Structures are given as structure tokens and as C-alpha cells.
Structure 1
Amino acid sequence: MNLLTSWLFDPTNWSGTGGIPQRLVEHLWYTALALAIAIVIGFPLGALVGHTKRGGFVLVGAANVLRALPTVGVLTLVVLLAGIGLVPPIAALTLLAIPPIMAGAYAGIQAVEPVVVDAARGVGMTEREVLFQVEIPNAMPLIFGGVRSAALQVVATATIAAYVGLGGLGRYVFDGLALHDYPQMAGGAILVAVLAVLVELVLTGVQRLVVSPGLRPVRTSGGTQR
């Protein structure tokens, strides 16, 4: 434990191009890029299928297939096809993030009360207006839940970028393993875990700002949610 704390609090590990702040920025960059691509791909697919109620079986099957793909295996395959660089880890992380985002959008829109949707159509709203002004706002808790789940998975798995020679906090894990520097390896793992907790807290705060109070779970006197 003393060796671990000495590594974490060593000033030399908090400065320079290989310092913790620099590695943290790299890790967040990989995470944000993969999440952005996954949202652009997964959210429209989930929302469209949830709105039209067509192709749900195909979407769920595709999400399960993507979940079953081994991230390191995908990384290795893309390296063989595209070579070393940013593309392989981002592709692997994007495939990891798409299923929860897609499932969250699909489940959220499917869960909107049919009477609300029928009322929106009854007042003359177009299908586009129903989707963007009624279904998506009402589905925000589940949509955001999917994004949070994807973010946590990507943050924890973005260490694979170091596997192909890139940066991020995974650099400490892989370098520590190669050099038998176990304090460095354990320190890298702790930093990833702490970052995941911080990301969860930040996204929870953002969700409270974005989601209407009327759509948040209500706690009963027994401590359960409804």
C-alpha cells in the first residue's frame, strides 16, 4: 500500500507528457469520441424503431450480437484491417457503446403512454412532431440511462487504447505489467475506477438538469421508487 500511495502522490507522475493529467485528457478524449459516434448511430436507430414499432426484433437481436462481441477481439481485427492508430480502439469502443444507447432510446420511446401519443396525433401533430416533441422528452430518463451505461462501459474499457500504443490511463496498466511495476499498474487501475465514478456523478447531475422533474422516479416512504 505504501508503494501504491507513493506512486500516486509522486509529483513526477503529475507532470510532463506522460503525467496523469495528460493521460486523463487522452482517456476522456477517447471516451467522448466513441460516445459521440455511438450516439449518432445508435440513438436515431433506437428512436426510429421505437416510434414506428417496426423492426424491434431485429434491433434487439443486433444489440445482443454487438454486446457479445469481445472488445479486444474487435480491436485486434480492426488493427489487422486498418493498422495501428486511433481507428481500432475508437471502433471497438463505439461498438461497445452502441447497444445500451440504442436500447435506451428504443425502450424509452416504447414506454411512452399510448394515450399521450394518440392525443398528440389527435391535435394534428405530424409524426416528426410526435417523436421530437412528445416521445423523446417523455423517454429522456431511459434515454439518458442508456447513455450513462454506455459512458461507464467506455470509460472502463478505454484502457485498450494503450494496447495499440496510444495513451490514456491504460498506459499505466500496460506499462506497469510489462515492467513488473505493480504500483504503477494498480495506480492506473485506481485512476480508471475513480474516473468512472466521477463520470457517473457528472452524468447524474446533467440528467437532473435535462430531465423534467415530473419524469423522475418518485421515492415512497418505504424508500422504493415508483
Structure 2
Amino acid sequence: MTIRVLIVDDHPVVRDGIRAMLGTQEDMEVVGEAISGTDAVRLACALRPDVTLMDLQLPEIDGATATSRIREQDPDAKVIVLTTYDTDGDISRAIHAGAIGYLLKDTGREQLFDAIRAAARGESTLSPPIVTRVLSWARADAPDTLSGREIEVLGAVAQGMSNKAIAGHLCISEATVKTHLLHVFAKLGVNDRTAAVTVAASRGIIRLGG
């Protein structure tokens, strides 16, 4: 069986390199390339690839949000995050968005190939540093982590958006926005929007300034 792969990265040199590598494998075929999160969602819906390789930092919408929207359209979609970012916030967002794998861009060729084959079979793959981080979370028995949607709402708050604007942006009701924020406040141990943004940014849950 040929594994059909969609590459999502806004750097042409990276896309060229990945395409060239996958071209050496008889059981893999690159069926599309996206340069933004919006393109990724559109092409994933149109092409239905077996595996999507997703960068995190993308124009328009980021990779975690794109992954979440792809999974909303197709719950069986297999997305592997391939990134240089390894903060707790980045990893948490990707996992909560439904990524089946999380690899760093210094991953070796064979590990990348193995991860794509594993994802096509429905199996998860994490880079060793990511495994260590995830296991440390489990051992710490930390309080409830923010969900992907809660992080989206908080990220919009950080951009200065009102509840009404957030509701329109995420296609949810204002009441739902308020509910998400109440959950965020409870999980972060804060009482207002400004404190929530400050605490979340300090923990790497959201990134300020773009």
C-alpha cells in the first residue's frame, strides 16, 4: 500500500527536503503541499491524505489549530507534528488537538519514515525528548491541563478580542466562550482575563507577540 502524505510547512527549503526524502521510499507518495494552516485544512479535506506532516508555526492559523480543524472534519485523520518547538505548551496543544505523533526537525530520516508508517497504521510516535516530557507530566500528577479549545479561547483573549469577537472567530456562542474562560480561570487559579493570559504565557501554554 502506498502511504499518501501531505506536507505542511511555510518554508520551501523544508518542503523540498521532506519531499526529496519521501521520494526515496517506494511505499510513500507526496500528494500535496500546504504553506499555511488554512491551506492545510483545505487540502486535507480535499485530498484525504493517509498522513499529514504538520509544522506548528504557520501563517494564518497555527499547526495545532489546523490539526484540530482537520480532525473535526475527519476524526480518522493522522497528523504528525514536525517542528523545532518543544515547549510544554506546544506539546500540550498538539496532543490535545489530536496529533498522533510529535517529532522534532532534527529527527533522523529512518525515524521519520518509521513514524509515517506507524501513523498510517494508527500508532503514535514521539521523539525521545517529547516522550521524556510527557512522562514527566504523568509523574507530576499535575492539575487538569487546558483543552485545545480553552487554549484557542485564551489565545484570542491575549490578542485583545472580546467575547463576542471570539465567539464569531471560533463559530461558538458567547455563552460557550464565557464557560471556557471560567474553566480556564479555575484550572490556572486566577480570577480574571489578564491574570489568565499572564500565567498561561509564563507556563508556555500560549505565546505572546505573534
TM-score by length of 2: 0.23
Name which structure has the greater RCO, CA cutoff 8 Å, separation 6+. 1
TM-score by length of 1: 0.22
State the structure with more CA Rg: 1
> Which has more strand, going by share of residues?
2
> Which has more helix, going by share of residues?
1
